[in-house]
Structure 1
Amino acid sequence: MKQGKLINRIMMLVLLAAVVVYLAASAWRSFRDPYAFVMSYAYTVDDSLEATGFLVREETVLSGGGGTVELLPEEGEKVARGETVALLYQSGEGLERRQELESLTLEREQLEYALERAQTGGDASQLSQQVLDAIADLHASVAAGDLTRLEEEAQKLKSLVYKREYTFSEGEGEGDASAAIQASLDEVEAQISALTAQAAQDTTAVTAGQSGVFSGQTDGFESQLTPDKLETITAAELTQLARQQPAADSGAVGKLITDATWYFVFAAGSEEAQRLHQGSSVTVRFSRDWSGEVDMTVERVGEPEEDGQCAVVLSTDRYLSETTLLRRQTVELVFDSREGIRVPTESIRVVEQTVTDPETEEESQVLTTGVFVLVGQQAEFKPVTVVEQMEEFALVVPADGVSDSEALRAGDQIILSSVELTDGAVILDS
């Protein structure tokens, strides 16, 4: 036999022996230690239904031309009628000009602020110290995480720097500083006017025709799914829509959502739809592209169709700005939630206890449901009421009438035992 094969066989035998020893040790330990411990914890069981459908809103597509598009509002931001929502540049130079205009506008604000400070007077000899104080204030605010006055403090520092520069370069008088700042301000104003005139030739503004909530994304469903169509939409039509992938308008720069009320429409089986009644409320839980819960009103439950499906329409006027990017979603309809403490199903025990009547002082035997908990080195019986029984776990709450010391709490160590347990039994570590 070759030496390599002999070594491989020896290694296999050693590995097999290790596995056998481990299994034997585990079996011996299980035989000697019949106890296992599981921590209980707070848990919620939902009575819910999964549904896949579409979000529907009153939407108006905003069209623009070609070129580079710059969106001004944030996603989900409210805009007023006539407000500019996008700028269209015919070339890359237009976008660069826009950025230069923003920089000059900020510089103009700083110069105006510096001019105002210069005209109100002040000792030029103290400017250096004022600059240092402003730097210290700004640093202290950032270090403390207090950003409420950050913009004000930054503007103050910039104005002091401007004032100091012009004061010491043009002379010690406040009039000289004011004149120098005014001259710079006039020059910036001239540059802004020139760039604005140039921008008018190759920049187009897209304005909002009416007030609403802005979204920078279109998906082609804006005209196919409207609130008016929800009055007659069927489950079969929803199935057909789910198979489509409509193309968005290539010339669109975004859309306006012009009504605060939005809808969620989906198809449900007739038995599931019976749980929904027009005018009632149901909690809808989103968890994929947006995490949140919203209470929605049942607007319509359609009649069962040939395949037993019904079209269901829900509505709400909350969280519109947070859901502008959502269209086809899978959600949970939560009808009821039960809270309690989760324990293993096999830990539930029924124990016979002796109860004394406080009036007659007569003793009687009653059966009490509960779990055994490890307290120190002893097993302590905690009476519970089973709220929900599942295959692998049970949702329980402390039984009525038990004292705080006897009540089961989240975090208690539940005892799982293969032998009979009694209240007060000593549990020794193996």
Structure 2
Amino acid sequence: MYDLIVLGGGPGGTKAAELASKAGLKTIVIEMDRLGGTCLNRGCIPTKAYYSALVGARVSPEDMWSYREGIVKKLGDGISTLMKMSGAEILRGRGKIASTGDPKIVEVETVDGTARVEGRALLLAPGARSLPLEFEGADLPGVLTGDWAVTEPDLWKYPETEEVESVGIIGAGVIAVEFAVLLRRMGKEVTILKHSDQLLRRADRDIKKKLAQSFKKMKITLVDYFSPERAIVEEGKICIEGKIPEGEYGLLCDRLLLASSMVPILDGYGLENTSIKHSNKGIAVDFHMETNLPGVYALGDVTGGMMLAHLAEYQALSAVEHMLGREYEIENDHVPWCVFSDPEIAAVGLSEDEAERRGIAVKTARAYFLGNGMALAMNSTDGFIKVVASKGDDTLLGVHIIGPEAASLIGEAALAVGHRMKAADVARTVHPHPTLTECFKDALFRLEE
């Protein structure tokens, strides 16, 4: 009998197992694939390896493929070591809640047969998959999905990739934006086919505008309000046809990437055998990540909302703390997110638009990297930091960055927003010189002008 069964070995599942095991709970993780989930094996880490190789890691394009594989293996080995050091067990196989309906009994199909695992608590962390786009020809060779595209030799491995000159991307979210930047840096012609007129729906209005300008400068083509109808093979290429407001639209490209939204995985592990509340948006949980069934938890992408590896890890902390009789709750408004575009984008808290939707009177200010000494020294001055604060009491509500090292800069902002600090207090925190963080300080002081 285990104290905790974790179904899924992604960032949230492995973090929960580590924390629970270190706290003295007998824990087992059931995973049929590599540990680390989508983030490590097909998402965040592989794309950042390519990004670093193309931007500044001093890796030749010819070595990008092996560079990515090496990083993924090293981190995967690290997770396995962490599990072993914490005392958590790993069972390789496909886990499924028993047909009896008891969610704390899991049957696992392994290479050696079926194993039966029982626990006092169950944590579901199966992750998410790409939302299938339904149009004729969506399954043609050369049409790729976002969660597997990082392992496509034709895009990233030399000499195969040299035969691919153009890529069409359907989507407008993080996956579409990051792949567009990577592929453009590799010299491909890139066209983004968007369902609306926006990039990055969640981003602040000024960030979206700046990103669109940057894409235009990079010669990435943007097509608005595109609705795909069919894809065919024409002269060895993919021809994607559809409609835009002006009429019919077609694009001929060597590869077509379907960078659609991710949706929670709700099948394949016996959810239908239980009374766990869920919808197509994900499994319903409370602030402790507990479902409607006591002792049954869910976290990460399967709960819907923001699908972020770092959020899943903190959800793991919340769940394990609750199992141990302690409290830790996450405020979703205070979760930072980032996009490795060109320039980088990062944000935390409310955008100006979201604050207005909530009826909050705000004041905003910007500081540009063009006036920052370190940005000038780095020859990377494109972008700005925008801050959003309450007009009433000066509480810092949101910080939005587009520019050099945005993803690294957002940490300070997350601390300030998360602790509901006053903008004036953060501004008066001494920031070292010369650093990019001074741009944050400058934006905060401009709120007082």
Rg (Cα) greater in structure:
1
Higher relative contact order (CA 8 A, sep 6+): 1
Regarding TM over 0.5, the answer is no
TM-score (norm 2): 0.19
Question: If each structure's strand is expressed as a fraction of its own residues, which one has the higher value?
Answer: 1
TM-score in terms of structure 1 length: 0.19
